[in-house]
């Protein structure tokens, strides 16, 4: 791992997986771009800005409750 690389917990990878599964078969409005590209891009910006992992996880999940059947209770159970 490079000297200034930050290690992330399994919770971040769990958030990526949950977001990808939740947004499966969704596309960005008016395009054929998979929806998951958006939360991954936002998370990437925050990682490059060296934001805390909790903020990166929030970015990954920010549209899950609004746009998928996943409930806020499910997110709280897994991510606090």
Q: List residues with catalytic annotation.
A: 66-67
Burial class (CB in 10 A: 0-12, 13-18, 19+), 15: buried
């Amino acid at each position: 791992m490079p000297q200034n690389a930050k290690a992330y917990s399994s919770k971040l990878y769990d958030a990526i997986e949950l977001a990808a599964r939740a947004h499966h078969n969704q596309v960005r409005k008016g395009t054929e771009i998979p929806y998951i590209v958006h939360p991954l891009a936002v998370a990437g910006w925050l990682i490059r800005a060296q934001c805390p992992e909790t903020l990166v996880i929030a970015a990954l999940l920010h549209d899950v409750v609004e746009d998928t059947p996943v409930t806020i209770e499910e997110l709280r159970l897994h991510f606090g």
